[in-house]
Structure 1
Amino acid sequence: MTVSLMDPTDISKTQDVETTPFPLDRWYVAALGKELTDKPLGRTLLNRAVVMYRTPDGQIHALEDRCCHRDLPLSLGTVEERGVRCGYHGLLFDGSGKCLEVPGQAKVPSKAKVSAYPVREQDSIIWIWMGSDASSEPNCEPPEYKVHSDERYRYDGDVYHYNAPYQLIHDNLLDLSHLGYVHLRTIGGNASIHMNAEMKVESEGDSVRVLRLMPGSTPPPTYTAAYPFKDKVDRWQEIVFHPSHLEIWTGAVDANTESLDDPNRGGFHLRGFHGVTPETDETCFYFWTQASNPVSNPEETMKLVIEQTAMTFDEDKVVIEAQYANMKRFPDKPMIDIHVDVGPNRARRIVDRLRGA
């Protein structure tokens, strides 16, 4: 698989969206809902510095992260009932980016405003609309993720920062054959079974679906710690890729007890949400949640599941960042494809098409 690396770009010179290398005019994950508290949150997304905040009435807003007076990041300011106040000279901005107040000055200059971004909170996920120009407005609502409100599941999550391009995480999540080598302590299992799993890859529109079935497997440590399996299990891995995020449903049932075609099958379930958002051309944010269906001691079991999930992502982070560092050491060396690369390759073609490559 030949991976084209994007040229490093100076963040301060990339506010012209026409030069951005990412698909635009779509929703991207900007934060988890729990991250927006009573303080502003500054984050660079798709090479654009953004500040997000939640007002006391629960409304969320996103502005460019700069005061139009002397360029201090607004993320260093404070949140008030009417908006965010700059921490340098106290200019107050509302959710539209308009300056409402200049302390010590009766008249607010008409040009005192900053750019605002459409932002929504959907199923405890904060989405931001990244348009191709300043006037771009959303043509749809953000994706739903109803697992977060499904009474069968409990969930939690976190945010990771990667020193690697975001599409390397797409590759990793669409190819779960690596579990048997990278995640031996958690969700791995027999490496041979993973590499030889029955695999089906489907594409439709801007999405890719990868289904992997592994009957007769030995349950990995995370599974046996969270669920009372009897012996061998029939495992499944279903990954659905979208340009802004992936949904992964994995799990297992006791071997030969239920059909893996049954959407209502029992057993142990892990339902993961994976929002992968570029920060810059060479770095990204990984917003994840993991939901499960504990059958006993739900609080303790979910704590274990989240700890084990975080451990697997720690392992992935080491691999992906080391992979990218080595790609830069050997920039002219091509990579070859093997049978597990079908899903990642299809996803890359979708992203290339959407960004006009």
Structure 2
Amino acid sequence: MSVKLHIPGVNDMTTETKNTFALNQWYVAALSTELVDQPLARTLLNQAVVLYRDDSGTVWALDDRCCHRALPLSHGTLEGKAIRCGYHGMLYDGTGQCIDVPGQNTIPKRAKVNSYCIEEKDGLVWIWFGDEGQSEPLNSAPDYPVHTSGEYVWGGGVFYYAAPYQLIHDNLLDLSHLGYVHLLTIGGDPNTHMTADMKTTVDGDCVTVVRHMRDSTPPPTYLAAYPFNDKIDRWQEIEFMPSHLRIWTGGVNIGEGHLDDPNRGGFHMRGFHGVTPETESSAHYIWTIATNPQTDSDAILNKVVDQTALTFEEDKVVIEAQYQNMLKFGNEPMVSIHVDAGATHARRIIEKLRTRA
């Protein structure tokens, strides 16, 4: 079956009934660890935003533009609970209101910049992007207790992709590529990945893909982190939401656990994937990986984080090359195969959410 994907820069069709992105959503703006004592500039959904943490620990987000002469506020400095422009010194609080104009007692009524709703929880900073007239969140930002439960140790990072965000969705929803792209880390035998038992379900705006690979050889990352015997039963459980994905992967010695047991033992890797568009053709990929070492937690965590980062570097090369080739070949259709079910459902959900009421 042939499928025609939306390719920014190739087959864009702008109409009055479509938003550029899925709105009325919480998106991941940053890792909490990125916000210390300096402003952070980041373009999110085509909006230039400055994020900063004030002296009480609260995170704020404003348009990255001074209303006086348009210098990015991210070029400025933090003062208490406010940020001061680095050009003429105008000081803005977290609501975007100018509260000080050096050398001038009166503050112009229009001296204000746009602010965004922020929630910080579980080591993640979320930002709300609403449709026109919906600046206030409709719900709370997602929880991610994997980071705070105490059951796992975790680390993470941020990648920048010169490619559309939905290509990252496609990649994460189809883990059959592991056997070809990630041979030296989390891959393994390609045939095992392509013939995995796979079940795809849709519940509202969530897509779940469950893949089981029984009696398989543990890949290098698994062997480096866990004392497996020989062959293992592997699982990959992927949950897609419009702004992020959660992927639980791992393996257990054959005979020591059932893949349908939510409390099974073995080696676990729980990945969080905040896929936030920068523009139609670029994206921020804010990720973490959590694991459950049996011994030597720090060393194994460092190894898992390093090897996970390596796998994402490999994905980045593939996805950016894929996008450049899509631009070269234009509207040439692509053929779908059995491993594309999850990605197909995800694209339908995004398309539905882009449609204005």
Normalised-by-shorter TM-score class:
over 0.9
2:335 aligns to what SS in structure 1?
coil
1:61-210 matched pairs, under 5 angstroms = 61-133=60-132, 136-210=135-209
Contact kept in structure 2, 1:20 and 1:46, CA below 8 Å: no
Contact kept in structure 1, 2:44 and 2:279, CA below 8 Å: yes
Contact kept in structure 2, 1:245 and 1:274, CA below 8 Å: yes
Report whether the alignment pairs 1:262 with 2:261: yes
Contact kept in structure 2, 1:165 and 1:284, CA below 8 Å: yes
CA distance in 1, matches of 2:302, 2:321: 29
CA distance in 1, matches of 2:155, 2:227: 22
CA distance in 2, matches of 1:20, 1:348: 14
Q: Which residue number in structure 2 is paired with residue 32 of structure 1?
A: 31
> What CA deviation, in whole Å up to 9, does each residue of 1:192-237 have, x standing for no partner?
0100000000000000000000000000000000000000000000
> What CA deviation, in whole Å up to 9, does each residue of 1:7-32 have, x standing for no partner?
48xxxxxxxx9974101111100000
Letter in 1 for 2:155: D
> What CA deviation, in whole Å up to 9, does each residue of 1:220-270 have, x standing for no partner?
000000000000000000000000000000000001221111111000000
1:4 pairs with 6, 9, 21, which one? 6
> What CA deviation, in whole Å up to 9, does each residue of 1:111-134 have, x standing for no partner?
100000001101110000011136
Contact kept in structure 1, 2:52 and 2:61, CA below 8 Å: yes
Which residues of structure 1 form unaligned runs of 5+? 9-16
Report whether the alignment pairs 1:355 with 2:357: no
Report whether the alignment pairs 1:222 with 2:221: yes
Contact kept in structure 1, 2:24 and 2:134, CA below 8 Å: no
Contact kept in structure 1, 2:154 and 2:290, CA below 8 Å: yes
CA distance in 1, matches of 2:196, 2:9: 36
**Higher relative contact order structure (alpha carbons within 8 Å, sequence separation ≥ 6):** 2
Structure 1 residue 82 displacement after superposition: 2.9
CA distance in 1, matches of 2:234, 2:128: 37
TM-score by length of 2: 0.96
> What CA deviation, in whole Å up to 9, does each residue of 1:160-201 have, x standing for no partner?
000000000000000000000000000000100100000000
Structure 1 residue 65 displacement after superposition: 0.4
Contact kept in structure 1, 2:18 and 2:355, CA below 8 Å: no
Structure 1 residue 135 displacement after superposition: 5.3
CA distance in 2, matches of 1:134, 1:91: 29
> What CA deviation, in whole Å up to 9, does each residue of 1:70-111 have, x standing for no partner?
000000001111311000000000011100000011111111
1:279 aligns to what SS in structure 2?
strand
1:175-324 matched pairs, under 5 angstroms = 175-324=174-323
CA distance in 1, matches of 2:345, 2:67: 43
Structure 1 residue 155 displacement after superposition: 0.1
Q: Which residue number in structure 1 is paired with residue 13 of structure 2?
A: none
2:223 aligns to what SS in structure 1?
helix
CA distance in 2, matches of 1:39, 1:7: 35
Bigger Cα displacement from structure 2, 314-323 vs 132-141: 132-141
Q: Which residue number in structure 1 is paired with residue 59 of structure 2?
A: 60
CA distance in 2, matches of 1:42, 1:304: 30
CA distance in 2, matches of 1:130, 1:321: 26
* Pair 134,49 (structure 1): closer, same or farther in 2 beyond 3 Å: farther
Contact kept in structure 2, 1:18 and 1:132, CA below 8 Å: no
1:241 aligns to what SS in structure 2?
strand
Off by >3 Å, runs of 4+ in structure 1: 17-20
1:109 aligns to what SS in structure 2?
coil
* Pair 332,19 (structure 1): closer, same or farther in 2 beyond 3 Å: closer
CA distance in 2, matches of 1:20, 1:333: 25
Paired residues in the alignment total: 350
TM-score by length of 1: 0.96
CA distance in 1, matches of 2:167, 2:253: 33
Letter in 2 for 1:211: V
Structure 1 residue 334 displacement after superposition: 0.5
CA distance in 2, matches of 1:307, 1:18: 43
Contact kept in structure 2, 1:31 and 1:287, CA below 8 Å: yes
CA distance in 2, matches of 1:257, 1:195: 25
Letter in 2 for 1:3: L
**RMSD across aligned C-alpha pairs, in angstroms?**
1.5
CA distance in 2, matches of 1:225, 1:34: 27
Letter in 1 for 2:4: T
Contact kept in structure 1, 2:56 and 2:81, CA below 8 Å: no
Letter in 1 for 2:46: N
2:158 aligns to what SS in structure 1?
strand
Letter in 2 for 1:310: A
Percent of aligned positions that are identical = 57
